Amino acid sequence: MKLRKVLACRAGALALGTAFLVAGTIGVKAEECETITLGAAISLTGKYATNGYHTQNGYEFAIEKIKENGGVQVGGKCYNFEVLYYDDESKGDRGATLAERLINQDGVQYMLGPYSSGLTKAIAPVTEKYQIPMVEAEGASRSLFNKGYEYLFAVLSTSEQYLASAITLAAQVAEQNGKKPSDVKVAVAVENDPFSLDIRAGVLEDASKYGMDIVVDEKLPRDLSDMSAILTKVKLLKPDVLIVSGHSKGAATAVRQIGEQNISVPLIAVTHCEAADVTGNFGKAANDILCSTQWAETLSYEDPIFGSAANYEKEFKAAYPEYAEKKVPYQTAQASAAVYVFKDAFERAGSLDKNTLRDAIAETDLMTFYGPIKFSENGNNIAKPMVLRQIQDGEYNVVAPAEFASHKLNWPRTPQ
């Protein structure tokens, strides 16, 4: 206090003093708030480590933002979130053990999800049995939502929607060019995991609706280093659409080799472009590739905590400078949204009881910077659409669905 007064007396240091004072009050306020501990088993090592890290940053950023905005008000008291993390090594059985440990031994009452559908599938039975509400942001496979889980909630759109819109797009383009959609040939290469297999299922469903022909249908192994065998088939069979899904590693390998081998498929759609930073790493090879995304910073969603989608990106980059040169991946945004759902639900529940909280989460009807969030009976978010972006001269521009499109689709893709 004395120091502050001395500083305040000096005219030149007045501004500094005020800043100090403000910081001081916030400090005091934060101390008054109690903590709510959320548990999370997340992949910090192993094959999902990159995206596990994106997810963790999303959680931490949201917690920080909520704290800055006065914390969580539950029943007239103020709380701040805190997350207890364990590393699940990208292994399902480890994840399940850790979830149990969090609940049983660390006494965690509320869980945030892990990264990937596979890990979520491993953890969900545990949280379900303990009746611990889990809001997850990274498990999109539909096979998660047919088990009748009542304590599992996902803020993201399910995975069959990721690239099915690329098929619709291909059908539209075919019609515009005077061809029948059933003449379109599709090549699919997806990683052998729950998420990508569900993407494949979605693509196959939509393709068969249009009567399209699947000419290549391959599963990528987990230790993928070379896709040239698939790309050779693509060259021979000349499909009109190429679909690749394999988390960050699959995206990186695909884009690199598509460039190397001069693949000239008119429409190429890939997942996880932003997380793999394909524009930064492979430059022109990534041009005109379609990327599915759960969220784009150009969309017009807004909420009182994070501001607009664009504002989220700006502030996140300021807080985590290592993202300054690349796109903020949607994995981070949806992780933040999951924390926000908890804040909203806690405040509506007005209690720390996990069952009251669960009911409050189920009734969520929230507009966020990430998009609208409203859960179906099975726990998946049915309010938010997916968008498809195309990399045009190094920029990600939304091209589908039509109501969000800011740019026209470049078709056919011109290999660089």
Partner 1 sequence: MDQIIGNLDLLFEFPIVNLKIIIDGVMIGALFALAAYGLALVWGVMNVKNLAQGDFVIAGGYTAWWLVQQGIHPFLGILAAFIVMWGIGWVTYRLVISRVIQRDLFTSLLATFGLAIMMAQILNLLFGSDTQSIQLDYATFHFADGLIDVPAAKLMGVVMAMALAGGVILFMKRSRMGQAIRATAQDPRAARVMGIDTEKIYSFTFSLNAAICGAAGAIIVMAWVIQPFYGITYSIRAFVIVTAAGLGNLPGVIAAGLGIGALEQYGSHILGIGYQQAVAVLLLLLLLLARMLQQRRQRQVLK
Partner 2 sequence: MNLSKPALYIVLLVVIVAAPFLLPAYKTQLATLWLMIIVAMTWDMTGGQMGYNSLGNIFFYGTGMYVAAVITIGMVYDVGDYTNAAGGGIYAFTETQYFTGLVLGCIGAGLFCALSAILIGWPTFGLRGPYFAIGTLGMAIAAGELVSNWEWVGAGQGISMPNYPGDFETFKLLIYFIFAGVGVVLFIFLKWLYTTRFRSAINAIREDEDKAEAMGLRTLTYKLLTWSMAAFFVGIAGGISAFQLIHFEPLETAYQTINLGIFMVVCVLLGGKGTLWGPIIGAVLFHVVKEVTWNYFLGWQWVALGAIIIVTVVYFQDGLMGWLKHKRPEWFGIRVEKKDQIVTEPAE
Provide the binding-site residues for partner 2, judged by CB under 8 A: 44-45, 86-87, 90-93, 96-98, 100-101, 104-105, 117-118, 121-122, 124-126, 128-130, 141-148, 160, 191-194, 197-198, 200-202, 205, 219, 221-222
Phi and psi dihedrals of 296, rounded to 5?
-135, 145
Q: Two tokens at 183? A: 């003449």
Cα 364 to Cα 188: distance, rounded to the nearest angstrom: 36
**Cβ 333 to partner 1 shortest distance, Å:** 21
**Cβ 140 to partner 2 shortest distance, Å:** 11
Is the bond preceding 114 in cis, omega lying within 30 degrees of 0?
Answer: no
The set of residues, in sequence order, having a beta carbon less than 8 Å from that of 106 and lying 6+ positions away, is 37, 39, 84
CB atoms within 10 A of CB 60: 19
Compare residues 145 and 396 and give the one whose CB is closer to partner 2.
145
**Cβ 91 to partner 2 shortest distance, Å:** 5
**Cβ 262 to partner 1 shortest distance, Å:** 6
**Cβ 142 to partner 2 shortest distance, Å:** 4
- Give 251's Cβ-side CA count (13 Å radius): 24
Residues 229-258 that bind partner 1 (CB under 8 A): 229-230, 232-233, 235-237, 248-249, 252-253, 256
Of the candidate residues 8, 30, 49, 383, the single one contacting partner 1 (CB under 8 A): 49
Alpha-carbon distances, residue 278 vs 84, 275, 285 (angstroms): 32, 8, 9
Cα 383 to Cα 368: distance, rounded to the nearest angstrom: 11
Cα 20 to Cα 14: distance, rounded to the nearest angstrom: 10
**Cβ 226 to partner 1 shortest distance, Å:** 6
Compare residues 131 and 406 and give the one whose CB is closer to partner 2.
131
What DSSP designation does 303 have?
Answer: E
Q: With CB cut-offs between 5 and 8 Å by kind, which of partner 1, partner 2, none does residue 407 bind?
A: none
Of the candidate residues 172, 261, 308, 311, the single one contacting partner 1 (CB under 8 A): 261
Residue 132 interacts with partner 1 (CB under 8 A): yes or no:
no
Residues 269-298 that bind partner 1 (CB under 8 A): 281-282
Of the candidate residues 1, 76, 226, 304, the single one contacting partner 1 (CB under 8 A): 226
Is the bond preceding 401 in cis, omega lying within 30 degrees of 0?
Answer: yes
Cα 119 to Cα 113: distance, rounded to the nearest angstrom: 9
Residue 50 interacts with partner 1 (CB under 8 A): yes or no:
yes
Of the candidate residues 82, 175, 260, 353, the single one contacting partner 1 (CB under 8 A): 260
**Cβ 216 to partner 2 shortest distance, Å:** 16
Give kind and range of the element (H or E) at residue 400.
strand 395-400
The answer to whether residues 185 and 215 touch, using CB atoms and an 8 Å cutoff, is yes
Short-list 184, 204, 207, CA closest to 196? 204
Question: What distance, in Å, lies between the first and last C-alpha atoms of the chain?
Answer: 64
Residues 153-212 that bind partner 1 (CB under 8 A): 189, 192
Compare residues 74 and 188 and give the one whose CB is closer to partner 2.
188
Binding site for partner 1 (CB under 8 A): 45-47, 49-50, 189, 192, 217-221, 223-230, 232-233, 235-237, 248-249, 252-253, 256, 260-262, 281-282
